[in-house]
Structure 1
């Protein structure tokens, strides 16, 4: 039967004729090429795994597997080609040819290994290149066999019976090669899972670091590196549970740096931050151990939590902290000495919950600040009663302002010593409380300042005073002026000048008849902005008076800078005259200084004829006090004014005062 495939001819040595030696079955040749191509694809995948292996040993193993896979493929290809070859000649493979095929496999593996390093940008292009290379390599291997096959002779009974062993050999080879490809796929997935696991571990590590950072940010103050309020509350709850279990005591200490705002205002916030760092360090040094918790609640407020057996231990620690903070601090080239106000509450005496203990320590701190600062106080039930009362007064004062009910003005005359008649009136607020009766400003002004009501209260007084002055003008007292007090907190409001102008316009009162009284401390809180606002008010024609002079800074510098008209001497300098010669000298000096600065002088608190005569003799311009009249409601004011205008203050027979500087 004639072979249907490739025919091989040989030249007869005897007569030069061509003889048919044999031929190749094209289907088995295609199967051989397919096996070679599959072997090349598997080899490329194995080399790719070798290239991506992280360990040197793994790379070596994958390369040797690639060599074995390609060798098996080459030998299987050769065997199938032999089965495909149909010839009557008797021949066999030689050892040299077998070893040569192994050498070819090594060379091809090295070539493919070098080729896999080239990766085009396009994944599709890379796959096309890969498969094209495999088909080309398989074709080369098949061609090599055919070329070598002309020198080989095989023993074949073959014919159609070669299909069965060829297919079996091909299937076995493809299964072996497929197992290699499967191994690469499985290994790649395992490696991807390992990479994913590493990435997850890396992300978890980053998450832990981020959580730690968030924990640091959430529970620690970035400036002082102390625990913040949130972290403190968490530790506080834990320590309360521990104290309840062990039946021990726990102290809560609130600290507030006295007049810290002045540092920020004068030296800047950077200097304030440096000061807070130093204070935090000193507080930590003054505590006893690592068990004591020091926290910064915000601003210049610190809180300390510590265990104790006796209440006296808390007082001892507070005193150590106060002494430590009084040590000089170098700040912006200056030596600063800081003081602190402290409030203390103790578990379980003053409360059993963190909120209750913190509230009570805060009340004690408020008491320390209210009693002159640089002080410490323990919580007591009376503080809670006072706080409750202040809360009640705050709510009722708010209602009184909203409903314009219960508030009124009393007026105290200010007597002109030169003209001998009342020149102006000081408006003083009163509150007819439904439960506590008539309250003076000392009972509710500080509460209004602490709770944001002072601006509304001052505005009410301003409008009411201008309205009453207009009513007095219609009764015949057109020459009278009126003095209205202004809170320190109200002096920082830019709306104040517009409110004054509106009150004057609405009431029809001339601006020169209104006088605004401010205290020394109010002026010095923020002198630059205060000075600008006072100039705006002065430009309206309103007079300006400095109240309680002598109890604050008493500085000539700000008296020169501010657009003042009047200086009011505080009652503390007049109450001991004539018994105190020192007070008499001080008052005389103040009057002389004020007149030198072209300021008029009002002395308040005049209660005796001797005081009246002393002030009249040494040139005081105005007096105010119980000698003339107590503050009276508006309804009683016309009668008082008529009496004062008709009855000059009598002088004693011995109205002679001698001052010496000896």
Structure 2
């Protein structure tokens, strides 16, 4: 017999015996070998799947659970493969297995599998860790196999060939290393290709494990001492047992894989649910943001018109059902446009924030609603028991507004106009109450601003009348009916002749009769008709100049009033040029009268426009001088020809010495600036004489003539022009005739 040695209860031989013993011819059942391979592959697939579940588990408990399931699947797969492989082994001797040793081999398989799953659970699995762990796992699998072989009891003696023994261990370590590396690669994959790769990897690993098993079996030899009888093995009982073990193992592993798959789907559903919840949360936040944008003013953080209307409707419903009063306060900041024009929109925005703070600090409780409707318009909605509460609230706001505001290095005080309407007496709907509060606000503005007004029925009547007048004025302009020009002579004190006429618009209304400008100019300005109206006056005045030339008055000039709103339009110079060219009138015969406040509104733009008008050859006159806030520094820069003193300075002369001194000073100042002076509103001879004595250039007023239509103008002009030639009767003419024909 060749050299033999023993290690850990296993017999190793370098060469088989020559005589005295029978080397048994052992074979394997092909069906059970395939069954063993199938069990090995399924066990490997389950292990790779469980490793993936551990990697994607969302909590520590879940990781531990899937690690132990993976350990069971791997251990069960390897051990069942070994057990079925051993049952596939057919020897011509009686073979049986010791149960305790067989169970011990299963424990070793569990330990090796636990080490494998623990390694696969590491968050960052390096190649070095794979090498280290694969040695332990491979040795564990090999140990399980050889302990399982040691459980075999038979009359023959088992011997192992050392080289194949070592090779089987190396294959076990190699299979473990490949399993770890593949699992590391498969951690984060998904989709069809990933699944196919996992199947392929399972077949490869199953081949590795069963390769190790049959390499170990190739190292195994049974030697029967001579004289022992050969006995056939019970193949049918082995087949039955192998099938039972394989099926049970496959069922357990299959159940584990199914559980893992179900958990994966549940986790995906959970993720989808979380994503849906997250999206719903984001949508909710977006809706809230949109609602904030839709219902709140971004600048002042007050609610806007839409938000106000929503609350207003709810409050109205509540008060309608339960009874009680509400007040709507409409606020408008006086002369706010000047701040924007002079200091810029950024300063205007800062001012609005401060004003919004003032209004909010004036309200009584959270029940009072403050809104910004846009621009410098604010609106309040308050609960109240009597109308006096609304007045007190408005006065409190007006008082708060008087606190000085530091803005752009300036200290300023703003004022506000307030209009108030009450529920239920002034209206039952949101629209009606807001409209009536707006009418009351309009009344406050018309009364000189910085005041408050409650809505009253006559305001509605006036508003209705104004609306009707607006529609009829549009019609009059469109159809060119009802509007006419009247002319008031302007007398030249140096030549004793009428040298100019002031064109004054009148409206022969079909219902209300003869209307003066005070009745409809403000309506035209408020409704965007003023440019059209001024243009009509301009064209008509130029046409009448042409007519006067044909009647022999070639030197007469006509002065036309220009609205402050129209002075802000760049097209004005072109419109004047077109009107002059169309009528064939020389530009020097037209004079444009602009008010003092209109000139000072936007001085830079106004200056450009006035220079364009002067370049045409048209004269310029500053009207109502002394009633505005013009600066002499600006006045000398403006390309003016004439200055007109307002009638308010003349009416009390000669009784009011202060007025006489003011008029004298204005005349001297105007002449210093090389301006001619016209004084309007002259009604008495004493006023006429005072102005003549102090160097006034022109006079205009009822002393000379009331405004008359073009058809009646020539007789009036002839009468006035003849007075100076008969100097003595001028007094008697003025006194006696002035009260009849001229008044």
When the two structures are superposed, what TM-score results if normalisation uses the length of structure 1? Answer: 0.93
1:405 matches 2:481: yes
1:365 aligned to 423, 438, 441, which one? Answer: 441
Separation in 1, partners of 2:541, 2:443: 34
> CA separation in 1, counterparts of 2:49 and 2:408?
72
Aligned to 1:612: 688
Q: State the alpha-carbon separation in 2 of the partners of residues 395 and 578 from structure 1.
A: 45
- The residue that corresponds to 1:77 in the other structure is 81
Alignment-derived partner of residue 141 in structure 1? 209
Q: Is the 8 A contact 2:24 2:92 kept in 1?
A: no
The 2-side partners of 1:250 and 1:108 are apart by 79
Greater displacement, 195-204 / 124-133: 124-133
1:159-203 deviation line (CA, Å, top 9, x unaligned): 366444434433332222111111011101111111111112212
Does residue 525 of the first structure (1) align with residue 601 of the second (2)?
yes
Aligned residue number for residue 475 of structure 1: 551
State the partner residue of 2:577.
501
2:23–2:221: 8 Å Cα contact kept in structure 1? Answer: no
Residue 367 of structure 1 and its aligned partner are, at CA, apart by 0.1
The answer to whether the 8 Å contact 2:334/2:449 transfers is yes
Moved more, 388-397 or 43-52: 43-52
- Matching residue of 1:5: none
Inter-partner Cα distance in structure 1 for 2:484 and 2:406: 51
Asked if residue 489 in structure 1 is aligned to residue 565 in structure 2, the reply is yes
Give me the whole-angstrom Cα distance separating, in 1, the residues matched to 2:539 and 2:268. Answer: 81
Contact 1:414/1:624 (<8 A) preserved: yes
**CA spacing shift, 1:398–1:548, aligned 2, 3 Å:** same
CA offsets 1:361-406 (integer angstroms, 9 cap, x no match): 0000000000100111000000000000000000000011111111
| 1:452 aligned onto 2:528 | yes
Out of 106, 113, 121, the position equivalent to 1:105 is 113
Name the CA shift for 1:384/1:153 in 2 (closer, same or farther; >3 Å).
farther
State the alpha-carbon separation in 2 of the partners of residues 351 and 109 from structure 1. 81
Query: Does residue 52 of structure 1 match 2:60?
Result: no
Please name the residue that 1:88 is paired with: 92
- Partner residue, 1:434: 510
Q: Does the 8 Å CA contact 1:412/1:427 hold for their aligned counterparts?
A: yes
Structure showing greater radius of gyration is: 2
Residue 386 (structure 2) aligns with? 310
CA contact (8 A) 2:507 2:514 kept: yes
* Selected match of 1:563 from 617, 620, 639: 639
Q: Judging changes above 3 Å, is the alpha-carbon distance between structure 1 residues 151 and 105 closer, same or farther for their aligned structure 2 residues?
A: farther
Answer whether contact 2:404 2:413 (CA < 8 A) is retained.
Answer: yes
Partner of 1:321: 397
SS in 2 for 1:213: helix
Alignment of 1:242-253 (within 5 A): 242-253=318-329
Contact 2:24 2:222 in 1 (8 A): no
- For 2:549 and 2:463, how far apart are their aligned partners in 1? 43
* 1:427–1:482 CA contact under 8 A, matched in 2: yes
1:4-15 superposed matches below 5 A: 13-15=17-19
CA contact (8 A) 1:327 1:337 kept: yes
Deviation at 1:135, TM superposition (A): 2.3
Q: Which residue of 2 is the match for residue 188 of structure 1?
A: 264
Q: 1:118 is matched with which residue?
A: 185
> Is residue 2:466 matched to residue 1:390?
yes
The whole-number CA distance in structure 2 between the counterparts of 1:12 and 1:399 is: 131
Q: 1: distance between equivalents of 2:111 and 2:61?
A: 23
Distance 1:31 1:104 in 2: 22
Counterpart contact for 1:10–1:20, Cα < 8 Å: no
Report what 1:6 is aligned to.
none
Alignment partner of 2:452 out of 367, 376, 385: 376
Contact 1:609-1:651 at 8 Å conserved across structures:
no
Using the TM superposition, give the Cα deviation of residue 243 of structure 1 relative to its aligned residue in structure 2, in angstroms.
1.4
User: Quick check: 1:340 aligned with 2:416?
Assistant: yes
Separation in structure 2 between the aligned mates of residue 153 and residue 651 of structure 1, nearest angstrom: 163
By how many angstroms is 1:15 displaced? 2.5
Is the partner of 1:568 in helix, strand or coil? strand
Q: CA deviation at 1:473?
A: 0.3
Aligned to 1:660: none
Equivalent in the alignment of 2:357: 281
Shift of 1:575: 0.8
CA distance in 1, matches of 2:566, 2:534: 8
TM-score (norm 2): 0.83
Specify whether residues 16 and 103 from structure 1 end up closer, same or farther in structure 2 by C-alpha distance, changes over 3 A only. farther
Note closer, same or farther for the CA distance 1:111–1:375 as it changes in structure 2 (3 Å cut).
closer
Q: How many angstroms does 1:480 deviate by? A: 0.4
**1:118 Cα deviation after fit:** 2.8
Deviates more, 1:297-306 or 1:84-93: 84-93
2:283 and 2:36 map into 1 onto residues whose CA distance is: 56
Deviation at 1:245, TM superposition (A): 2.4
Matches within 5 A, 1:194-205: 194-205=270-281
Matched-pair contact (CA < 8 Å) for 1:411–1:427: yes
Q: Distance in 1 between matches of 2:407 and 2:232?
A: 107
Q: Is the 8 A contact 2:625 2:644 kept in 1?
A: yes
TM-aligned CA distance change 1:492 to 1:568, over 3 Å? same
- Pairwise CA RMSD: 2.3
Tell me which residue corresponds to 2:25: 21
Q: 1:111 to 1:307 in 2, by over 3 A?
A: closer
Measured in 2, the distance between the counterparts of 1:287 and 1:557 equals: 44
Q: CA deviation at 1:11?
A: 7.5
Which residue, out of 57, 62, 66, partners 2:66? 62
Question: Partners of 2:321 and 2:86 in 1: how far apart?
Answer: 93
Question: Could you tell me how far apart the structure 1 residues matched to 2:274 and 2:508 are?
Answer: 77
CA distance in structure 2 between the aligned counterparts of 1:102 and 1:320, rounded to whole angstroms: 87
Per-residue CA deviation, residues 584-624 of structure 1 (Å, 9 max, x unaligned), is: 11111100000000000000111111111111111111111
Q: After superposition, what is the alpha-carbon deviation per residue over 1:314-359, rounded to whole angstroms, capped at 9, x for unaligned?
A: 1111111101101111111211111110100111111111111111
Shift of 1:517: 0.4
Distance 2:432 2:94 in 1: 110
